[in-house]
Amino acid sequence: MHRRRSAFSLVELLVVIGIIGLFIAILMPALSRARESARQIQCAAQLRQIGQALYNYASSNRGSYPAFGDWHVWGGDGTGEDTPGPGWTEELIPYFTKDPKIYNCSEFPEGYPFNYFLGVRWLRLQDRWSILASEIKNSTEFILAAECTHGRLYPKPWGQSVLYTTSDCDKDDAAWKCLSWRGEQSGFNVHHAGNNILFADGHVACFAKFDPQQMTFHPKKAGVDWEDVTAP
């Protein structure tokens, strides 16, 4: 009589383990990309919600979007590093949510919240503080808000701000190019696909670099990069 084999031999077991390890090695990069893509999509969804809140604010304020200011601490009382008055994210509370987590992108380091900025470079050059929706002539291309990827807008040790230790809930690109790309000074790309941008018509898209054919920092002129914005 032949004895029935009741178990794998050592060689067979090692082969099975090797095959499983090979499959894991093949699948891990794909799973990692899938997770990263999911985070980018979640971030884009948050930006779309912020866009709707900005639209609701403008509809209730004669077409004017929230004003930008200096460094604002969420819930601050105007003392310390908090500039008196509300930041633009705080101005949106009646039209949006009281939960500040909506302004946090999960791809940023923990402890560095408020990862979106308001596009105000054109306004700053005119010494103005808020823009009218009617002034935006190319709403499908004008960068209304986006992920803030400039180190100077975040405190140290991860960020590069030399003046502040708190998190600014009123980020804007009046003085610094908040939407800085990989390869630019103090810039980086948050997601594998690039950085999420909210355009004035409400749509959100992700770009790996500035594309003059699809975006502009000037509300009345196409294809204008941040450094090239002029007041008129």
d(CA 202, CA 174): 21
Q: What phi and psi values does residue 67 have, to the nearest 5 degrees?
A: -80, 145
Q: What is the pLDDT of residue 35?
A: 77
pTM: predicted TM-score of the whole model, two decimal places: 0.86
Element counts in the chain: helices (H) and strands (E): 3, 4
Cα angle value 157/159/161 (rounded, 5°): 100
pLDDT beyond 80 at 92: yes
Q: Identify whether the C-beta of residue 55 lies closer than 8 Å to the C-beta of residue 159.
A: no
Task: Give the least confident one: 19-28, 65-74, 104-113.
Answer: 19-28
Contacts 24+ apart (CB under 8 A), 221-225: 221/138, 222/138, 222/141, 223/141
* Mean pLDDT calculated for residue range 58-74: 96
Q: What is the pLDDT of residue 5?
A: 53
Q: Confidence class of residue 6 from pLDDT cuts 50, 70 and 90? A: low
Q: In sequence order, which residues have a C-beta less than 8 Å from that of residue 93 and are 6 or more positions away?
A: none
Give me the helices (H) in the chain, please: 10-60, 88-91, 121-124
Q: What is the pLDDT of residue 125?
A: 96
Q: pLDDT of 176-213, one tens digit each? A: 999 999 999 889 999 999 999 999 999 999 999 999 99
Stronger pLDDT, 127 or 185, i.e. the higher one: 127
* Mean pLDDT calculated for residue range 132-148: 97
Q: What is the pLDDT of residue 37?
A: 81
Q: What is the pLDDT of residue 189?
A: 96
Q: What is the pLDDT of residue 36?
A: 79
Q: Confidence class of residue 12 from pLDDT cuts 50, 70 and 90? A: low
